[in-house]
Amino acid sequence: MTVAAFGSDANKCASLRTGNSNYITNGTALQATAYSYKFVFDLDANTVTLTISSSAGTETFSGSISDRNINNVYSVTSASGVRNVTLSKPAVSVEAAVSSTEVQNFTKDGINSSFFQITGNTSSSKGTVSYSGLTLTTCLKMESKTNITFTAAKAGTLTLVIDAANKTVKVDGKAYTSDANGVIKASVAAGSHTITKGDSCNLFYMVFATN
């Protein structure tokens, strides 16, 4: 089965073909006789990007794929009547897995974040917590109205640092219990997630790191 290909659709427009029959095009007819092209596959995100370059300019197409492996790469030169289209050998790259880390330090940042959406009340009178060489003095109070949401582009690990052992915080409705150091770790899939109150406790620090 074809994972992805550079070709033309029924209207002779340059296109990215994914699978065996899905054509992604911008409606521009092939205008040049020589093309170079590059595929970039992200097998974690199940996406492919095709960049086509010619004397007519550069175009980029993106699509979704379901395959987890690529076994062969090849090119074909087409000739039909007076039209001859020559394709270079494709340049193909598979993006390396890149991990990312999002940190929320309530002592430093309060509830301001470009990654987490946080609703709730902070306090600087709930004691201090030490974690990863930091002395944390401000927390988010885990109350019934406290709500934290975030969207993970990839699967990863959510770490929550609270002020007590054997207390729970809910992630997507499931209760996770803190260890002896007040740390909770939860594995989460790609997608949207919500953190809410389990037991009464105070959240001082949280990290989401992709795998």
**Bridge-based pairing state of the strands 13-18 and 22-29:** antiparallel
pLDDT of residue 14: 74
pLDDT at residue 55 in the model:
74
Question: Confidence class of residue 29 from pLDDT cuts 50, 70 and 90?
Answer: low
> pLDDT by residue (tens digit) across 40-87?
877 777 888 888 777 777 888 888 887 767 666 655 554 444 444 444
Residue 5 makes CB contacts below 8 A (sequence gap 6+) with 16, 17
Asked if the model's pLDDT at residue 122 lies above 90, the reply is yes
In degrees and rounded to multiples of 5, residue 155 shows phi and psi of -65, 150
Q: How far apart are CA 188 and CA 152, in angstroms?
A: 8
pLDDT in tens, 132-183: 999 999 999 999 999 999 999 889 999 999 999 999 999 999 999 999 999 9
Average confidence (pLDDT) over 91-118: 83
The number of CA neighbours under 13 Å toward the Cβ of 58 is 7
Domain with CATH 2.60.120.1360 in the chain: 101-210
Architecture of domain 101-210: Sandwich (2.60)
